[in-house]
Chains A and B, each alone.
Chain A
């Protein structure tokens, strides 16, 4: 992709969805997609359609649940919310993400010093 947009890293979409639901509470698919794009300040490119298989996967694992409701503009929409085990999973994933970031950061710094 051109224009400085990055594709979402494989495996990080789950984390982004869970975090979004934790911050904003129950939300429909479009809401989640918009939020992710807003927070990333348009730096992340998201094919919004790819969100749905991810939502299904998370729901199958019991980390989120869904029910049908009505959106702001009176449209029927499916709302997703974080479950208890989803909260725990978010904590686990966030922690492992931070560890990973730390490792990569140290690695890059080290390289910088040597370089």
Chain B
């Protein structure tokens, strides 16, 4: 343990330096005095006595130095000294320092901001105990092209009973209900769960209890667990709420518990402040189908037993599944059971790719920033060459000079990081405001713990990156010859110029690659913006009416209500063009249904064909301007008692009736309230991008609402009045039918489309911003190198001008140098961009990775910027006074 004592003693020595130093001097003086006195006693002359004493004692200063090194922590002291020296150097070159710090702050700040998003979405531990053990369990059928699907409730219960690999399992589903009483009616997000849900996630309620197994029994008393936010915002955090009851869709539920604030389970995107959980069996929508073995509506969550891998779990579940499929997937072959980490389920697969594109982009920005600073440092190292030569002459080793220079770089890097983190903090706050609400875990994006560590490591790494090459050159022992040079201008070797040029070419190349990438995404977004959705969005207002499920439990009630409401709304002159559609285009989650063709060509076994599904009022196509291509629209005569009809999209007709007239053919499909049955095709309409603008139109099926109602009312209105006026009129008409129903989500369709593009827009803006940053940094790099080159060639220009060269010739000479560097960078950058284009091409819409416009315009822009940046120093070169230039030599 001696070494611990030594370190403690050394640290004390470091801290108490002053007192210890005085003590040492006193002790040594005393020693020498005693020596002198002894010598005097021996009869030496006073001078001799002192001289002999000093000789006997040896070199005092040398000894003190040794003593000091022994006393403290010399490494640390040197470091502190270097840091102090570094600060002094940076202060002395305020201009250089400012430019370097700003450059680094931009690079580090952008990286920190984007990394904070990556961290929150992809890396931050989920707020559940041992989140690594949590998996989603789902069925897939590769042969049928089904990547993952929900299971039925009874099937889930069998999984739960028969497996030995999970310590607990829970089933979940989600939708919305109306919360009434105690204030305005509001729509809440309902998590339908089995009683094991909270214990699977390993989270205990803040107040009251979680669900019990008894709550899962059909006929049990209705109970509800509230989220902390809902409890606070709606019920003023009233602790006595537990035990009392609240109304969901006008049915009374007893509040049994409140979850803690941090608990959030965003499987299905939910707004903050309106989440609660009820047992599946008590839900008006998902409760009844829970008893039916073929209603595959539920998502299974499970916690792996300790020591069980996902592969082991999948293997076991496969044997369980093989036993169960005859009952739950009759007739189908090729089913497998898979597991996936809950994180993927929470964030979605497609969240990571765009984030990584952004991270790569900011990474490039930082690299460019580093190259820039490295170039600045190189120039400065040249002008400081004498300083290093003197240091080396005084005995500083190469390593010592290197260490000092790298310390200076680190100081610079950390200053940049400090400012960068401030920028990132500010940027992230702006960023989360811009994020669409559907962005996974957007609320947890912040500059915190690991993000700060990332920023610091990044800045130190960057310091090494930009500091090493200049430091190596500065510490070059050959520089000693500098001292011998008579002129005040130490020479710059060929090596060094090559490095400077290499750096600036790299910089331009990186900027080029990034610009092309940004350009592609901008073009992609532009084509997304201008894509024809296949239906009108201008002057189309949408609104939803939320129906209480317990009151409106029968599909026929939905039809009656919506017919009556629609009729009353249409009686208003400026709302005459009002139609009904569910699910609503773009705004709602789409419904994709399997279907089959009567007397159609046989499908390969195990393959199903699907189409997007919507149920509409007869006038829907006219209201939103979807053209009729063949046959007829629906009419008021297409009701529940008349023959069942369907209208298909042009894409469906093209795919499945390539050589036949689809009119009069029959399809078989069904959905919830509308059990499977044959429907005759009566019309073909134009294709739409109703699922998402970025999705090419797929096959689509439309059925009359009267024949296949869905719960709820989705309204679209072509109107010239204002949104608020129309909303009031709609609400008034709806309330004539039922005064308790809230009219929600009143929005222009253009806004809906806009919102749906939120993520793509943000990504495009950010990439554009980073592209511009890269462009500016690269131009600054060219400016720096050319300025430097011009200042070094003043003498040469003087001679040239003395020999008769005109200003234009000098200008051309300088610009040619800049052009050479820029073009080299641009060519390399294009090559890099083409190489990188393949992985991002799947994120592009309507533009190819080799888009000629991008590949021609942006290189021109960058080259232009480079020439512009070189023009300023070039102009300076033409103003060289030949006489003055020659005299300075």
> In the complex, how many angstroms separate the beta carbon of B655 from the nearest chain A beta carbon?
86
Q: Assess whether B59 is interfacial by the CB under 8 Å rule.
A: yes
Complex alpha-carbon distance, A30 and B59, angstroms: 16
Return the chain A residue nearest B66 by Cβ: A53
Contacts of A33 in B (CB 8 A): 31
Complex alpha-carbon distance, A53 and B67, angstroms: 5
> In the complex, how many angstroms separate the beta carbon of A104 from the nearest chain B beta carbon?
27
> In the complex, how many angstroms separate the beta carbon of A49 from the nearest chain B beta carbon?
4
Partner of B27, one of A34, A52, A57, A59: A52
Q: Which of B33-41, B495-503, B590-598 contacts A (4 or more CB under 8 A)?
A: B33-41
Return the chain A residue nearest B24 by Cβ: A52
Return the chain B residue nearest A77 by Cβ: B30
> In the complex, how many angstroms separate the beta carbon of A26 from the nearest chain B beta carbon?
15
> In the complex, how many angstroms separate the beta carbon of A9 from the nearest chain B beta carbon?
17
Partner of A52, one of B5, B6, B56, B67: B67
Q: Is the CB of B63 within 8 A of A52?
A: yes
Q: Which of A1-41 contact B (CB under 8 A)?
A: 28-30, 33-34
Contacts of B9 in A (CB 8 A): 59-60
Q: Is the CB of B27 within 8 A of A77?
A: yes
> In the complex, how many angstroms separate the beta carbon of A58 from the nearest chain B beta carbon?
11
Contacts of B33 in A (CB 8 A): 75
Q: Is the CB of B34 within 8 A of A62?
A: no
Complex alpha-carbon distance, A78 and B10, angstroms: 19
A-B contact count (CB 8 A): 66
Complex alpha-carbon distance, A6 and B60, angstroms: 21
Complex alpha-carbon distance, A76 and B70, angstroms: 24
> In the complex, how many angstroms separate the beta carbon of B82 from the nearest chain A beta carbon?
24
> In the complex, how many angstroms separate the beta carbon of B464 from the nearest chain A beta carbon?
34
Complex alpha-carbon distance, A56 and B6, angstroms: 10
Contact string against B for A residues 55-83, beta-carbon threshold 8 Å, 1 for contact and 0 otherwise = 01101111000000001010111100000
Complex alpha-carbon distance, A29 and B58, angstroms: 14
Return the chain B residue nearest A63 by Cβ: B2
Complex alpha-carbon distance, A44 and B583, angstroms: 102
Complex alpha-carbon distance, A57 and B57, angstroms: 19
Complex alpha-carbon distance, A29 and B63, angstroms: 14
Q: Assess whether B28 is interfacial by the CB under 8 Å rule.
A: yes
> In the complex, how many angstroms separate the beta carbon of A34 from the nearest chain B beta carbon?
8
Q: Assess whether A48 is interfacial by the CB under 8 Å rule.
A: yes
Q: Assess whether B26 is interfacial by the CB under 8 Å rule.
A: yes
Complex alpha-carbon distance, A73 and B62, angstroms: 29
**Interface size, chain B (Cβ < 8 Å):** 28
Complex alpha-carbon distance, A76 and B6, angstroms: 27
Return the chain B residue nearest A72 by Cβ: B34
Q: Is the CB of A50 within 8 A of B63?
A: yes
Contact string against A for B residues 16-50, beta-carbon threshold 8 Å, 1 for contact and 0 otherwise = 00000001101110110111011000000000000
Partner of A30, one of B10, B35, B58: B35
Q: Is the CB of A56 within 8 A of B71?
A: yes
Q: Is the CB of B35 within 8 A of A50?
A: no
Q: Is the CB of A52 within 8 A of B28?
A: yes
Q: Is the CB of A71 within 8 A of B34?
A: yes
Q: Is the CB of B6 within 8 A of A49?
A: no
Contacts of A50 in B (CB 8 A): 58, 63, 66
Contacts of A52 in B (CB 8 A): 24, 27-28, 63, 67
**Interface size, chain A (Cβ < 8 Å):** 23
Contacts of A56 in B (CB 8 A): 67, 70-71
Q: Is the CB of A48 within 8 A of B67?
A: no
Partner of A60, one of B5, B35, B56, B66: B5
Q: Is the CB of A53 within 8 A of B70?
A: yes
Contacts of A57 in B (CB 8 A): 70
Q: Given A49-B59, A53-B67, A56-B71, do A73 and B37 touch, yes or no (CB 8 Å)?
A: yes
Contacts of B6 in A (CB 8 A): 60-61
Complex alpha-carbon distance, A31 and B134, angstroms: 74
Partner of A76, one of B2, B26, B35, B57: B26
Contacts of B26 in A (CB 8 A): 76
Q: Is the CB of B58 within 8 A of A47?
A: yes
Partner of A61, one of B2, B35, B60: B2
Complex alpha-carbon distance, A57 and B6, angstroms: 8
Complex alpha-carbon distance, A53 and B13, angstroms: 13
Q: Is the CB of A60 within 8 A of B58?
A: no
Q: Given A50-B63, A52-B24, A61-B5, do A30 and B31 touch, yes or no (CB 8 Å)?
A: yes
Complex alpha-carbon distance, A59 and B23, angstroms: 15
Q: Is the CB of A53 within 8 A of B34?
A: no
Return the chain A residue nearest B23 by Cβ: A78
Return the chain A residue nearest B55 by Cβ: A47
Q: Which of A76-102 contact B (CB under 8 A)?
A: 76-78
> In the complex, how many angstroms separate the beta carbon of A89 from the nearest chain B beta carbon?
9
Complex alpha-carbon distance, A7 and B58, angstroms: 13
Partner of B34, one of A30, A59, A61, A78: A30
Q: Is the CB of A53 within 8 A of B2?
A: no
Complex alpha-carbon distance, A52 and B30, angstroms: 13
Contacts of A34 in B (CB 8 A): 38
Partner of A28, one of B10, B24, B30, B66: B30
Return the chain B residue nearest A89 by Cβ: B2
Complex alpha-carbon distance, A62 and B6, angstroms: 8
Contacts of B34 in A (CB 8 A): 30, 71, 75
> In the complex, how many angstroms separate the beta carbon of B32 from the nearest chain A beta carbon?
9
Contacts of A76 in B (CB 8 A): 26, 30
Complex alpha-carbon distance, A9 and B5, angstroms: 26
Complex alpha-carbon distance, A62 and B8, angstroms: 11
> In the complex, how many angstroms separate the beta carbon of A62 from the nearest chain B beta carbon?
5
Q: Is the CB of B31 within 8 A of A29?
A: yes
Q: Which of B78-127 contact A (CB under 8 A)?
A: none
Complex alpha-carbon distance, A29 and B56, angstroms: 14
Complex alpha-carbon distance, A52 and B6, angstroms: 16
Q: Is the CB of B57 within 8 A of A49?
A: yes
Contacts of A75 in B (CB 8 A): 30, 33-34
Contacts of A78 in B (CB 8 A): 23, 27, 30
Partner of A49, one of B10, B30, B58: B58
> In the complex, how many angstroms separate the beta carbon of B791 from the nearest chain A beta carbon?
51
Contacts of A30 in B (CB 8 A): 30-31, 34-35
Contacts of B23 in A (CB 8 A): 78
Q: Is the CB of A48 within 8 A of B58?
A: yes
Contacts of B56 in A (CB 8 A): 47-48
- Further 9 A-B residue pairs, CB within 8 A, beyond A48-B35, A78-B30: A29-B27, A29-B31, A30-B35, A33-B31, A48-B58, A50-B66, A59-B9, A75-B33, A78-B27
Could you list which residues of chain A lie within 8 angstroms of chain B, going by C-beta atoms?
Answer: 28-30, 33-34, 47-50, 52-53, 56-57, 59-62, 71, 73, 75-78
7 tightest Cβ-Cβ pairs between the two chains A and B: A47-B58, A49-B63, A49-B58, A60-B9, A30-B34, A30-B31, A53-B66
Can you name 25 A-B residue pairings with CB atoms under 8 Å? A28-B30, A30-B35, A34-B38, A47-B56, A47-B57, A47-B59, A48-B31, A48-B56, A48-B57, A49-B28, A49-B57, A49-B60, A49-B62, A49-B63, A52-B24, A52-B27, A52-B28, A52-B67, A60-B70, A71-B30, A75-B30, A76-B26, A76-B30, A78-B27, A78-B30
